[in-house]
Amino acid sequence: MHTRIKICGLTRSEDVEVVADAGADAVGFVFYPPSPRYVTPARAAELARSLPPFVSVVGLFVNADADTVRQALASAPIHLLQFHGDEDDAFCRQFGRPFIKAARVRPGLDLLQYAAAFPSAQALLLDAFVDGYGGGGAVFDWSLVPAALSRTLVLSGGLDVDNVGEAIRRLQPAAVDVSSGVEAAKGIKDAAKVRAFVAAARAVDL
């Protein structure tokens, strides 16, 4: 099984190069202005020029209006949309692009019901429930993920070099996603942490 790796919240071209060189499968750009990792779509387009072919670009939104999403799609080479707020399936699918929907996991959230509400999603991204919607560096209780959840999953939330292997072994997600765990500061990736995280995730697949 080959677990895909997404590194999210990139803001610098040197970090884009480090992440691609480390072998990540996707990079995420945060189009949510309150985030310290926020970049404009025009900046994301500049950063994406540093990418080699076959590295996916994920555009992340939180409760954006449809025009904002459309303008981003027109301005940057976004391959996959990620909706991380309170969006519903109809809103997410209107752009005619593949999308992943984030669930902010906490006790009491019925993930089977949540998944059923997003039949159009290519995958569900399971993240911790944190202030500011995401990027919190917090791990949620992985035992809250029902074995019956038969959807393509991206595991996220507080992953780092020390727990990503266990995360993959326990939940066998299609992909893992990380931001804080590979940073020196919010939006500033640490090259050694990036490389160590990718190596730890890849080691499980061997």
* Residues near ligand LARABZUK, by CB under 6 A: 8-9, 28, 30, 32, 35, 37, 60, 62, 84, 127, 132-137, 156-159, 177-181
| Residue 30 CB, nearest approach to ligand LARABZUK (Å) | 5
Residue 24's identity, in one-letter code, is: A
Nearer to ligand LARABZUK, 41 or 135 (CB): 135
- Burial of 22 from C-beta contacts in 10 A (0-12 / 13-18 / 19+): buried
Concerning whether 127 is annotated as a catalytic residue, the answer is: yes
Nearer to ligand LARABZUK, 157 or 173 (CB): 157
| Residue 85 CB, nearest approach to ligand LARABZUK (Å) | 8
Contact 83, 104 (CB under 8 A): no
- Burial of 90 from C-beta contacts in 10 A (0-12 / 13-18 / 19+): exposed
**Which residues lie closer than 8 Å to 34 by C-beta, 6 or more apart?**
132
Quote the tokens at residue 81.
């949309």
| Residue 101 CB, nearest approach to ligand LARABZUK (Å) | 11
Nearer to ligand LARABZUK, 30 or 80 (CB): 30
Catalytic positions are 8, 127
